[in-house]
Amino acid sequence: MRLGWRGIVSARFAITNTIPNYQLLITIIGRISVMASYKVHVTKDNLVFCSGHFITFEGQCEPLHGHNYRTAVTLEGILDENEYVFNFVTLKKVMKALCDKLDHRLLLPTQNPLLDIQSDAASYTVRYKHKTYVFPKEDVVQLPIANTTAENLATWLCGELEAQLKDKGAANLTAIEMEVEETFGQSAICRKELHHLGPAKESSL
């Protein structure tokens, strides 16, 4: 059914008299703002780690080997009081420190149910079926993951970065996306949505 101009006027008059705060409502609707969202992305030649590992899969354990891993990170969010999503310099320092923890180390997953991991004062002994590895403790980084796949490494790095960002008060962030490349053209990405928004920077419609 179509309303003529008389019907429209009558309808508006009825709404105006039914809703006491009609004019206030119209004012609020007219001033609705759009919350802008931004991304920053960092990938640098020094955000790398060279590490040894092995993966259990499909009833077997692959040979001990290593990769020259590369990382990249994207932060999403709204602008803070400094007009930043996050400071590039700080982000690079945090990522470099995380990569350094893994660099030139054997990556040992502590939550793999197929591995028997024992330790003494000097070493870790790792058994899988007929295989036995003995690694000096100073050469090992224990990671609370089930397998040292690129996916799980990206997940671990994402969690470590999130913890540090929270410590630095980065409440404006909405998502972290972490990429770990284990060889050229072959990478895994972990994306985590965050739920601790801070004050928004608004732009009018």
Closest C-alpha among 204, 152, 145, 141 to residue 180: 152
Q: Do 99 and 23 sit in the same domain of this protein?
A: no
Q: Do 10 and 90 sit in the same domain of this protein?
A: no
Report the pLDDT value the prediction gives residue 33, as an integer from 0 to 100: 41
Among the options 61, 99, 158, 190, which is catalytic? 61
Across-strand partners of 71?
180
- CB burial readout 65-90, b (16+ within 10 A) else e: eebebbbbbbbbbbbbeeebbbeeee
Report the pLDDT value the prediction gives residue 200, as an integer from 0 to 100: 43
Q: Do 27 and 40 sit in the same domain of this protein?
A: no
Q: Do 38 and 65 sit in the same domain of this protein?
A: yes
How many domains does the chain fold into? 2
Across-strand partners of 175?
76, 193
Catalytic: 99? no
Give, for all 205 residues of the chain, the pLDDT tens digit: 555 545 544 555 454 455 555 555 444 444 444 567 899 999 999 999 999 999 999 999 999 999 999 999 999 999 999 999 999 999 999 999 999 999 999 999 999 999 999 999 999 999 999 999 999 999 999 999 999 999 999 999 999 999 999 999 999 999 999 999 999 999 999 999 997 544 444 433 3
Domain that holds residue 121: 34-204
CATH number of the domain that 71 lies in?
3.30.479.10
Report the pLDDT value the prediction gives residue 67, as an integer from 0 to 100: 97
Among the options 62, 104, 196, 202, which is catalytic? 104
Q: Do 69 and 46 sit in the same domain of this protein?
A: yes
Catalytic: 67? no
Report the pLDDT value the prediction gives residue 35, as an integer from 0 to 100: 63
Closest C-alpha among 115, 98, 23 to residue 62: 115
Q: Do 86 and 45 sit in the same domain of this protein?
A: yes
Q: Do 22 and 114 sit in the same domain of this protein?
A: no
Q: What phi-psi label fits residue 2: left (phi over 0), alpha (psi between -120 and 50 degrees) or beta?
A: beta
Q: Do 39 and 93 sit in the same domain of this protein?
A: yes
Q: Do 6 and 89 sit in the same domain of this protein?
A: no
d(CA 121, CA 114): 23
d(CA 182, CA 195): 30
Sign of CA dihedral 50, 189, 142, 98: positive
Report the pLDDT value the prediction gives residue 2, as an integer from 0 to 100: 53
Among the options 76, 179, 181, 182, which is catalytic? 182
pTM for this structure?
Answer: 0.79
Q: Do 12 and 99 sit in the same domain of this protein?
A: no
Q: Do 77 and 131 sit in the same domain of this protein?
A: yes
Q: Do 110 and 90 sit in the same domain of this protein?
A: yes
Report the pLDDT value the prediction gives residue 203, as an integer from 0 to 100: 39
Catalytic: 61? yes
